[in-house]
Structure 1
């Protein structure tokens, strides 16, 4: 019995690792074009592995990597694989120093592109004056259009990285990001600036889209936590740190220097990544090895063990259609994505209007106005700390009971305070700014907004991953597309809303929307399992 339980536990662990790795690498786990994707139980490989003599197994009955590779070659001698478990070409076998050098450089690149989303915000009044623009919609669009690029870029970047490898995608996108950012710096009119901001957002999404996959390429699951934490700080802190630095830069040098600084730093980090790192994506590395062997041996039948059986056209269609099908036809994905999208849209409405609010209401200078964004950052960090401490404790408690469900990712202890924090922060921010209460009061309000935004986004993302397992990447992609679209378009109404209703009632309208959506995660906490298992709500993918 003990042996059976051990084997069952090992099987579950292997399945969990394959699911987690596939998601981190940016694809669904049922797409068989990666080392850690599912192999159908009836495949020739599994038959070969299962028929391998007991003498080749270890004390626990498991096959070593060499034996598994031999099983593959028994099926087809034209299969190209690693040269044993210690092959130095395998990124998993890279020296520790080489791995962490890559992570450090990748973290720098991943910091710059999210930072660019809001770095420019304090300079909007100067831009409007430079180009003689007066439209409130244009004032918001010039900031938020970048986020629309973050919605569209990943749909192309993710499948392309599976076809040509991550290294090429990083370097192409980094080069284009520098070019588009320089184009923003030398823009001669508002249309040109908006167009190149959008293009910069599309290519700037690459490190956020495939950075987690790079980490999964080089670290086994039990060693990823530290690397993921370092890499994830960029997307979290970038949009908040950006305006703080950007405010003083705009005041000292003008708005164009925001883009020149971004271009300089991104070019430097891009050169580091180009010259000091290598390809990490195993299928791409083995495919190049197979190409070399085909040329040297004259055997055209040689092929990589990890070669994707899915044609590129089908891969592109799948990467775009599957998330959209889940978004439209799955009530869980749609409502949860809508909840996050509203949160995100309100956050970026805040980012695009806070400069005008604090300059008009409190007469902050262009430099000091960037400091008004600190409250949001403090709130987000507080939410991250709360999640880190409480979420794992709740899951471990349920594991001890032997009753872990995806819905346990939505504990009332986190979802309810987080849901209340958002509208509370909006009301506090709006009315204190409207009544000219001391400037610290609205900044405290933005801290509550940051807290509610992060707890809502993170709890729902982990829930979607656990709820959709095999199709976790598509569920998150659907969430990201809707979230980014709201983040791009809701801010367009911000300044006009304040002009018509004032800061108090204008923000109150947003606060009431925040109150209305509070029940969404609570509803799925209690009824999510019933909906997930109901055949009427299951999407055919």
Structure 2
């Protein structure tokens, strides 16, 4: 009875309370990012894709120059040579846990600008590094700042794009995390050979500076709760009514609420079987990608006699396969979403259908690449194998991202942070085992081991296609966010 009495609110008080809540002015309010003009959304999304391309580019563009760095700093450990590349991805593990929750408190744009500035500073520091420890530390810090667009990019898409079009736009955003590391070694190989490894960082810094100027001019806040908070602040000033507040307002941000927000990605990662297993599948694919990145240059130099610069062209298989996977998966996923929405049966699990087909390309590509390189066939054959692998990689990457975002839409940045952090941890550590694994097992059985693990992971989309909705709604797996 007492509980019922607490819920009773006098009619006049209810009207007064509702009158002080600030929301968008109907479904066609132009302040709502969903209703922005196409040119405004397009400008933001193109800049975001550019932003998301540059920082992953920096993760691998340096790879062909590692041998020059080792000679300059008198380093002989191959593991340390791999680590100076993968430590950047290790930075991706830590950054998201701070960036994502802060973006859900202060908005996306403030985080984009702050992290871009820090990324520029640490990239310049890498170019000026005088010892291997300095370079490793600056690479780590650059990775922590550079992960920002990867962490909140999917949230920015979810802020502006309706679900029936979201997969296609996600495909554009996903170009950065995949194509950046692919294009990097191609450009970095020739640049490091012609001008030295330090110029790789100078070029990245110059491009970052240009991108920063463009984003400062044209980025606009897209996170709905922050847009409404700013609207409420304007109305309080113009009307003189201090009681006006956003419908998302939770009162003063106390330390408990702040630290709860910071813990949200971890809660999602370890509290939801969906987030953990889907992120683990994406992490496995990403780890394979970077393991191959850190070994493919030496394989093609030693086995096929490629020069430093030409060895970078071996990464084109990844690039072409990624583009093919991106275009096909984006088109198919959008068509499935539109069809399911029209039929009234759309659920987040609708995003898994392309993955249920595309994931099989990964183990096929790994077997193909490993055994053809082991046999010393024509160089185009293992490169074609990496292309087949990349088709599967892009399908898994895109479908995992859209499935997690649609499952936890309001906390899209936090769930993407959980996904990014686990993916990056595996991407940073797995390459360290690459040289010793291939030395012990050879290219054929080494890649076969990876393929067998990938085969087991292919069960993930089928598992959640059948049981995902039940798991998401089961009280046992509800995450207190």
What is the TM-score of this pair, normalised by structure 1?
0.76
Q: 1:520 is matched with which residue? A: 460
1:420 to 1:207, Cα distance in 2 relative to 1, 3 A = closer
Q: Which has the larger radius of gyration?
A: 1
Q: 2:382 is matched with which residue? A: 442
| In 2, Cα distance between equivalents of 1:177 and 1:386 | 33
- The number of residues matched between the two structures is 475
How much does 1:161 deviate?
2.8
Preserved CA contact (<8 Å) 1:362 1:439: yes
Matches within 5 A, 1:52-451: 75-76=19-20, 100-214=42-156, 230-281=172-223, 284=226, 307-309=249-251, 311=253, 313-395=255-337, 403-411=345-353, 414-415=354-355, 417-451=357-391
User: Aligned-residue CA RMSD in angstroms?
Assistant: 3.7
Question: Partner of 1:367: helix, strand, or coil?
Answer: helix
How much does 1:320 deviate?
3.9
Q: Which moved more, 1:259-268 or 1:199-208?
A: 199-208
Question: Partner of 1:438: helix, strand, or coil?
Answer: coil
| In 1, Cα distance between equivalents of 2:31 and 2:225 | 12
Gap regions ≥5 residues in structure 2: 1-6
Q: 2:394 is matched with which residue? A: 454
How much does 1:540 deviate?
5.0
Question: Partner of 2:130: helix, strand, or coil?
Answer: coil
Pairing 1:497–2:446 present: no
Q: Which moved more, 1:419-428 or 1:91-100?
A: 91-100
1:465 to 1:265, Cα distance in 2 relative to 1, 3 A = closer
1:205 to 1:397, Cα distance in 2 relative to 1, 3 A = same
Preserved CA contact (<8 Å) 1:171 1:270: yes
1:271 to 1:388, Cα distance in 2 relative to 1, 3 A = closer
What is the TM-score of this pair, normalised by structure 2?
0.84
Instruction: Write out per-residue CA displacement over residues 414-453 of structure 1, whole angstroms, 9 at most, x where no aligned residue.
Output: 4454333222211221222222211111111111211121
Q: Which fold has the larger relative contact order, with Cα–Cα distance below 8 Å and residues 6 or more apart in sequence?
A: 2
| In 1, Cα distance between equivalents of 2:342 and 2:218 | 45
Preserved CA contact (<8 Å) 2:163 2:337: no
How much does 1:454 deviate?
1.7
How much does 1:144 deviate?
1.6
How much does 1:495 deviate?
1.3
1:424 to 1:85, Cα distance in 2 relative to 1, 3 A = closer
1:334 to 1:255, Cα distance in 2 relative to 1, 3 A = same
How much does 1:200 deviate?
0.9
Preserved CA contact (<8 Å) 1:177 1:204: yes
Gap regions ≥5 residues in structure 1: 1-41, 52-70
